[in-house]
Chain A
């Protein structure tokens, strides 16, 4: 009795070094990955970021800080057109991929026998077994002047001469990328659909809705997390894709990554290449942030989730509005030449959006 009471105070002291060593152990265990991430991800990013603010000299980089590269990247029409094209291609690829992936994921999740689902997922990932380059080249074979599609259509007598809009433009980039990223879109949507309790669908039917309306009111909202993941997974890599536009894009299909490559390796203009790379990263970040904010608005304003105070509501509305405005300005700047037009158009659209938002809120 006395012994145990005496030993008690020493217990925490004995436990403490062990806990500290556990923390050290943990750090030791993550350190290889952390080092890897620091060296191979953070360091190059910092380098590029630094380069983008330096001055370009002939064959060298001078250490004079300047914003000149950014001014060039954002005002020169060539870069603006290419950035806009990259954004457009990435959005088109995302749209096509997710819209086509959803029915496949839906079919596998809802109609394929549970014992065969793994087989289906396995089949969906089979394209990954060949090299990405080979897949791109295969699309060249399919879409080319004397390719599968053209010779097939000519053999059927549907066309007299080969179609030229199939290859070496943004269409072929979208087709190729949509095919390449299909599994990345199918899998997250499939996972989200798998998580939906099937009794929700029966409940929807039981409460008087047809299968289609039940899909719209129950399945689709519950699958949204998967759709959002799919959008991010497809959108972020495609906007910076380099190989596909290089191989199937032709002169009309150059994207940001191609320009960055030319600036770095052909023209030896590291600062401008870096500024362009950073700008495109910013663009991706802006687009995604805006999308996220719109979703948050949807959640907080329209659905009125419990615990939404007027303050939170106001903050979210203001944040989303600010981001929407920012993105609008950027996009309009990319499209038009006139800064005045851009700002006034953006302000007008912003005002419309706010009015619409306010009306929706008061309706609730």
Chain B
């Protein structure tokens, strides 16, 4: 659906050097209008640098950054159709909340009363109605962030840039703000670009995610694809938990690959399940998420493929239980997760059980 929308931002082979340090190494990507797009990666991967090239705070060494089809090379930061929510929020401490929110309206031709109304509306949008007269330095972290949002959104930018906006909030507040940000984005329809190192946050909030390592985009996909079909071992390792078992490739024909994975035996995988082994040491592996492996309790119907295993470790989370189990014929334990449905027992260490899986949930890295 998003592919029908026009392109808002385009990176054309963007390179950035800091002296000898190659911070961005050939970024090519397009971000569409109205998209909630995330740049995800470990610290130092260049995600913030890339965001700052959009805002105009960071020049690029070669390539082009286009916004709305226009090359931004000669457009200074204060003339770009972007606004930013800074990691530190950058709320001016010498101004009131209303003055902060109205900071960018100085050159706006509207009258004072109209501007004041716009400020009130912006504050209402972020749930801070009536806070206008407060001093900025008297706000809590969450309130500061809302002010920063209102201050940026009041200018109706084409693109809103968010530089790790939630990293300074506590867990509960963060989860609340994630939902609020998604709603806000739907409401205003502006393109949001979020920088984060938190994979969960990126999965929850984004329409599409670009995973970055060492100045390059390792994979650009929607959250589900990223989670189920990570393009490389490195991406798989970074996003969520994934188990890896050594595997041997037996034959390839017509895009299908026949492999033998340790403990799982022989199986046939489709071409879209075969990924790069980048970031892995050693030979081919098959990977699977903890929830794709299911414990078969007594009397449960036998699934398509299953094998015997022993519980080695139990981690109880309330809603979920994580088991480290050793599948017969495997060198190391794998982790699986079970929802604690009512009436289902939590197994004890040492319990012998059977686990079932489906070949479609596996990914081969080679």
Contact = CB atoms under 8 A, between A and B. Distances in A.
Given A197-B90, A199-B90, A206 B135 contact: no
A240 to B, nearest CB: 33
Contacts of B76: 205
B96 A202 contact: no
Interface string B17-33: 00000000000000000
A199 B88 contact: yes
A206 B138 CA distance: 23
Contact of B103 (A207, A222, A304, A305): A207
Nearest to B93: A222
Interface string A42-83: 000000000000000000000000000000000000000000
Contact of A207 (B93, B133, B135, B155): B155
Interface of A: 197, 199-200, 202-210, 213, 217-218, 221-222, 303-306
Interface stretch (B77-85, B336-344, B353-361): B77-85
B171 interface: no
A207 B134 contact: no
Given A199-B86, A221-B94, A208 B133 contact: no
A317 B295 CA distance: 77
B322 interface: no
Contacts of A208: 78-79, 104, 106-107, 155
A303 B96 contact: yes
Contacts of B96: 303-306
B88 A197 contact: yes
A200 B92 CA distance: 7
Contacts of A222: 92-94
A287 B314 CA distance: 75
A44 B161 CA distance: 63
B297 interface: no
A358 B79 CA distance: 37
Given A199-B87, A204-B103, A207-B103, 16 more contacts: A197-B90, A199-B86, A200-B92, A202-B55, A202-B84, A203-B86, A206-B57, A206-B77, A207-B78, A208-B78, A208-B79, A208-B107, A209-B104, A209-B106, A222-B94, A306-B133
Interface string B114-140: 000000000000000000011100100
Contacts of A218: 92
Contacts of A197: 88, 90
Most A CB atoms within 10 A — which of B84, B92, B151? Answer: B92
A304 B55 CA distance: 33
Interface in B19-75: 55-57
A206 B133 contact: no
12 contacts: A197-B90, A199-B86, A202-B90, A205-B57, A206-B152, A207-B83, A207-B104, A207-B152, A208-B78, A222-B94, A304-B96, A306-B133
A297 to B, nearest CB: 16
B148 to A, nearest CB: 8
Given A206-B77, A218-B92, A306 B84 contact: no
Contacts of B55: 202, 206
A200 B87 CA distance: 11
Contacts of A305: 96, 135
Contacts of A210: 78
A10 B55 CA distance: 66
A205 B78 CA distance: 5
Contacts of B77: 202, 205-206
A197 B88 CA distance: 9
B354 to A, nearest CB: 55
A136 B68 CA distance: 64
Contacts of B92: 200, 203, 218, 222
B57 A202 contact: yes
Contact of B86 (A202, A221, A306): A202
Contacts of B86: 199, 202-203
A306 B135 contact: yes
Contacts of A205: 56-57, 76-78
B304 to A, nearest CB: 55
A204 B55 CA distance: 12
A359 to B, nearest CB: 15
A205 to B, nearest CB: 5
Nearest to A203: B90
Given A207-B83, A207-B155, A208-B155, A306 B138 contact: yes
